[in-house]
Structures are given as C-alpha cells and as structure tokens.
C-alpha cells in the first residue's frame, strides 16, 4: 500500500521547483487552448479553418456551416471543458479524502447510482426525453454517494478510507444487479439505457450545458476550499487535528464537492470512465502530491483528455462518430499502464 500511497510526505511536497511547475501549467494551458480550437474546427463535416474563425467571431449566419459550429460544436466543446474539469477534480478530491489511489467516481457508487436512476426513469416514465432524465442521473448519483457515506459512517470507529471504499463496492454491486434486473425485464428501457451509458458530449444542447453550470461551479468552489484541509488530512488524521483541521467537516465538504461535480458531469454527459482515475495519477507524477499544484493541473489536463478523446472520436470513423466514453478508456488505459509501471520504479522503498 505504501508504494502507491497518495499521502504526501514532507520531503515530497516540494519535489520540483516552483518555476518548473508554473511553466508546466502554462504549457498545459497552451495544450488546452489548442484542443479547444481543434474541437471547434474539426468534425465529421469539413469546414475550412478561416470560415470557422469568421463564423465564431461574426456569429451564426444561418448557413449550414454556422449551424454545425454554433449548434453542435460550441455546446459540445463547452460541455467537454466543464465535464473534464468536474471529473478530474472529483477524482482528485475523492482520492485525497479516501487516501486511496484507486478511488474514482465509479468506485464510490456515483456512476452506478446515476445509471440506476436513469434506468428506473426510462422504465417507469416510459421514454422521457434526455433532458428529463439528466435530473434522475443527478439525484441517483447524489443519493448513492450519500448512502455510501452513511454506511461507512455506521458502527464504531466512524468513516475510514477502507470502510468508504468497501461500502462503495457493495452499493455499486447492489445497484448494478438492480440495473440488470430492470433492463432485462424491459428491453425497450435497455435500448435507451445502452445509448445513455456510453457517455457522450454530442447531442446535448446549450441549455443542458447551462443547466449544470451552477452545480459544477459550486462544486468547484467547494473543492477549492478543501485544498488546504485535505493537504493537512494527507498527513494523517491526528496530525491534521493537531494542525487545527476539522476532519469530519473536511470529509463532508469533500463529499458535497464530489456529489456536485461528478453527479453534474455524469448527468450531463453520461458515465465517462478513466478521467477521474487517470488525471490525478498523471498530475501527481508531474507535480508531486501537494494539492495546491495537483488541483490546477488537473483542472487543465482533465478537459484536455476529454476534448482530445472527443476530437479523435469525431475523426476516426468518418462520416460517423465514436462516443467520447469509449475513447477516454482507449486513450486513458495505456497512459495509466505506463504510469503504474513508472510508479513501481520510483515508489519509495
């Protein structure tokens, strides 16, 4: 466990000099800017670059190119930015608060909770529209996470990282069997569920994007407020307390941040794997474990991964498209394997 421990140690907190990390962050921001431009300029339909630029600044001129840009590409780019930030940040907070390098939104029941709520909504409401069941996804994610926290908090000893993860695994298993039970009995629901569960940035209009922005913004502020207490918590509960931190309050604030970020992202785009797991690992390999660096880096690299995967998905099977949920896993898995191998090499003895 120590070999993979997320907890920072005093000697690691300043592994690379401040200037290097600042330069790296600028570089990452540059990469994100390039990907945003690519996400606006590239797609199944070829629009000349200068025409895209003109349309972007002059606004929708009512042409087909204009509709493609403003109705399809702008919303999905904004959604990619939001969801990328949210998922990466949720992953960082979860891994820190549970002090478990495996923690991601999937592990603590968030994806399963959202999926279960969506399946029930489709089955019970007989084909609601996508816009209607994003709310169920959000509620499902929040309830699942609350239940996981509740179970973990029961009994003596209170919430421990291990209990939290075990509760998450148990709740996920229960929810997944429920999803199977409902979707196998109701094959029409299964069909709709299959379309939702892949995770996609396409097909959501600007309104959906706008709906979730407040949730993600509050989640973001909450996560930022947790940076300092989580850094202290990483030193161990006793030390955190002696430094004047409120461990319980930190855990509750973190849970709130994760519910808003992961719940909102999953509701808006469907469950997207790997971003929340991979990005914190990738970032820590570059910056060390200090959350004051991990958080801003993750907020830049999360959307980079998501937008990059989405752009690739639009180009590889032209004139069709591959959903981003498929590509984050395809692109993310090899990266994570490289990181795992590296971690083993540099892990403390």
Partner 1 sequence: MRVRTGLLLALLLTVVGCSAKEGTSKPSGPTRSITHAMGTTQVPDKPQRVVVLDTPELDAAITLGIKPVGTVRDEASAGPSAYLGAQAADIPVVGIIGTPNLEEISRLKPDLILSSKDRDEPRYSQLSQIAPTVFGDAPGARWKENFQLYADALGKGAEGRAAMTAYQDRAKQIGSQVPKATTVSVVRFLTDETRLYTPRSFSGIVLADVGVARPEIVRTAPDIAVNISPEELPKADADFVYAAYYAPKEMTTFPQGQALWGQLPAVKAGKAFDVDDKIWMTGIGVTGANRVLDDLQRTLKA
3-state helix, strand and coil shares in percent for the chain, rounded to the nearest 5: 75, 0, 25
Of 57, 129, 157, 349, the one binding partner 1 by CB under 8 A: 129
Torsion angle of the four alpha carbons 3, 343, 288, 276, in this order, in degrees rounded to the nearest 10: -100
Of the pair 124, 317, the CB lying nearest partner 1 is at 317
Choose which of 195, 336, 339, 343 interacts with partner 1 (CB under 8 A): 195
Residue choice 8, 43, 256, 308 for contact with partner 1 (CB under 8 A): 43
Smallest CA-to-CA distance from 284 within 99, 83, 111, 105 is with 99
Contacts (CB under 8 A) with partner 1, residues 160-189: 187-188
Q: Which has the closest alpha carbon to 86: 315, 295, 311, 233?
A: 295
CA distance 171 to 165: 10
Binder among 37, 169, 203, 343 for partner 1 (CB under 8 A): 203
Q: Which among 334, 346, 222 is positioned nearest to 278, based on CA atoms?
A: 334
Q: Is 325 in the site for partner 1 (CB under 8 A)?
A: no
**Residue 106 has what DSSP assignment?**
T
x/- string (CB under 8 A) for partner 1, residues 50-89? Answer: ------------x-x--xx--xxx----------------
Q: Is residue 323 involved in binding partner 1 (CB under 8 A)?
A: yes
- The single residue among 7, 51, 166, 205 that binds partner 1, judged by CB under 8 A, is 205
Q: Stretches 141-149, 172-180, 201-209, 254-262: which one binds partner 1 (CB under 8 A)?
A: 201-209
Contact predicate 267/110, CB 8 Å: no
Structure token pair of residue 290: 């200090």
Q: Which residues bind partner 1 (CB under 8 A)?
A: 43-45, 62, 64, 67-68, 71-73, 127, 129-130, 187-188, 190-192, 194-195, 198, 200, 202-203, 205, 314, 317-321, 323
């Amino acid at each position: 466990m120590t070999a993979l421990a997320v907890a920072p140690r005093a000697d690691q907190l300043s592994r690379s000099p401040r200037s290097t990390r600042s330069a790296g962050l600028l570089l990452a921001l540059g990469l994100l800017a390039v990907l945003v431009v690519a996400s606006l300029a590239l797609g199944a339909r070829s629009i000349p670059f200068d025409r895209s630029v003109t349309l972007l600044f002059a606004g929708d001129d009512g042409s087909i190119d204009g509709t493609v840009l403003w109705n399809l590409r702008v919303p999905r780019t904004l959604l990619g930015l939001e969801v990328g930030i949210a998922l990466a940040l949720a992953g960082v907070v979860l891994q820190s608060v549970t002090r478990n390098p495996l923690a991601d939104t999937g592990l603590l029941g968030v994806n399963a909770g959202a999926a279960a709520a969506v399946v029930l909504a489709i089955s019970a409401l007989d084909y609601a529209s996508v816009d209607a069941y994003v709310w169920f996804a959000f509620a499902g994610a929040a309830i699942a996470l609350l239940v996981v926290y509740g179970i973990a908090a029961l009994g003596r000893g209170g919430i421990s990282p291990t209990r939290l993860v075990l509760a998450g695994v148990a709740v996920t298993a229960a929810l997944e069997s429920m999803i199977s039970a409902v979707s196998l009995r109701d094959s029409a629901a299964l069909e709709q569920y299959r379309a939702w569960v892949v995770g996609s940035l396409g097909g959501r209009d600007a309104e959906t994007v706008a709906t979730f922005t407040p949730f993600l913004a509050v989640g973001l502020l909450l996560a930022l407020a947790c940076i300092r207490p989580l850094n202290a918590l990483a030193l161990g509960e006793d030390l955190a307390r002696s430094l004047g931190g409120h461990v319980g309050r930190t855990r509750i604030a973190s849970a709130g941040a994760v519910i808003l970020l992961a719940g909102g992202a999953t509701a808006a785009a469907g469950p997207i794997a790997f971003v929340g797991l991979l990005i914190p690992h990738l970032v820590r390999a570059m910056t060390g474990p200090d959350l004051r660096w991990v958080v801003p880096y993750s907020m830049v690299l999360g959307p980079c991964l998501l937008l990059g995967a989405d752009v690739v998905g639009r180009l590889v099977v032209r004139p069709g498209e591959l959903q981003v949920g498929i590509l984050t896993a395809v692109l993310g898995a090899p990266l994570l394997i490289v990181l795992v191998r590296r971690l083993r090499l540099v892990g403390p003895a």
